[in-house]
Amino acid sequence: MNDRKLTLPFLSNLGLMLTYRCTTACPHCLVEAGPHRTEQMPLDRCLAWIEEARAYRDGHIQGIALTGGEPFYDLAMLSEVSSRARELGFVVTAVTNAFWASTLQSARDTLRQVPGIRILSISTDVYHQRSIPFRNVRHAIEAAKELDRLYNIAVCTDTKDDPGYQRIAAQIAEIGDAERMRVAMTLPIGRAKQNASSLTYEISSTPAAEACSMANWPVVFPNGDVQACIGPLLTLPPDHPMCLGNANRMKLTEILDRAETNPLLHIIRVWGPRRLVALLEEHGAGEMLPKEYICGSPCDVCYKLMSDERIVRRLGEILDEEEIRQEVAYARIYFLNELAMAEAYGLHTEA
């Protein structure tokens, strides 16, 4: 249908942010996690949301991603949640800083207590390594291999020219895992906002062009808020269009169904937030727009737009136009092979 690289289907994965608690308070942390935080997802609600996810559209959701904070902080809860999700047939992923892997034996022992977790996303970078050495990552990887778990390695940096990043990339390459490394940009948001002056970026007046695949999979937070992604928007008050609802006040399934017809969300998925910038310019609202953006970061574009109440309000007016909504619905068919939005609008979907 098109030459675009396909990703996993929309709503095929659901994130659960189990806790804001973490063993360390990294200076770049988006959610400002740390040992002092006490917010945690209630176990009964967490298990109920997993059950709802299993029933959604007869098994449409295939994966559960457990995140934080540090999900391994409360090992008993992590074991119960991941085991239940696995019993229901989900592929379970967990993010971690590998604090529990100070030795190879401790890494083995810990992973054996969470047999439901099939994929690890291990975070390491110059920020994490202030308190958690790379040997922990190596031990976690060795234990994962022994116990037949999949894994990747997540690294944050503001620039790949940073010597610290290059050292870590070399360490990862030395153990033969360069292809498993996933690099994300450190943004001056959350705790990193306090250190923004030390971050190095290229700046442009043109927004990043990339579409956003991270908006494919919503995340439920301890207070029940359901965010369209786990990016910087989660630091904003929950009154922007990428906050999909609250699962304590309405059914999770209703929130997910409503996400199918959220035009702003799907513009970001199809074209990226640069299309929102273009729509504002086309509708005479260019004076509202930011003057500069971080090069290569669609997250920065999205955050700056959603941070401005005037822009959010104007976008709401623009996206209420029937012609634009239909354009988004048909674009989802053409680019992503997704019919749900067009069907909800009663549009013709046959070739």
CATH number at residue 180: 3.20.20.70
Number of structural domains found in the chain: 2
**The pLDDT of residue 4 is above 60:** no
CB 61 within 8 A of CB 12: yes
**Are residues 132 and 19 both part of a single domain?**
yes
**Are residues 310 and 188 both part of a single domain?**
no
Domain final residue pick, 154, 170, 200: 200
Q: How confident is the model at residue 1 (pLDDT cuts 50, 70, 90)?
A: very low
At residue 239, what is the residue type? Answer: D
Q: What are phi and psi of 81, to 5 degrees?
A: -65, -50
Task: Provide the pLDDT for residue 8.
Answer: 75
Task: Provide the pLDDT for residue 7.
Answer: 65
Range of the domain at 104: 13-200
**Are residues 67 and 167 both part of a single domain?**
yes
**Are residues 306 and 164 both part of a single domain?**
no
In whole angstroms, give the CA distance from residue 165 to residue 156. Answer: 8
**Are residues 196 and 267 both part of a single domain?**
no
**Are residues 43 and 134 both part of a single domain?**
yes
**Are residues 149 and 30 both part of a single domain?**
yes
Task: Provide the pLDDT for residue 196.
Answer: 82
Domain final residue pick, 179, 200, 221: 200
CB contact burial 171-187 (16+ within 10 A = b; e otherwise): bbeeeebeebeeebbbb
Q: Is residue 23 in some structural domain?
A: yes
**Are residues 61 and 140 both part of a single domain?**
yes
**Are residues 180 and 76 both part of a single domain?**
yes
Mean pLDDT across the stretch 151-177? 97
Mean pLDDT across the stretch 21-36? 96
Q: Is residue 98 in some structural domain?
A: yes
Q: Is residue 235 in some structural domain?
A: no
CA angle 204, 278, 350 (to 5 degrees): 130
**Are residues 21 and 163 both part of a single domain?**
yes
Domain final residue pick, 200, 215, 235: 200
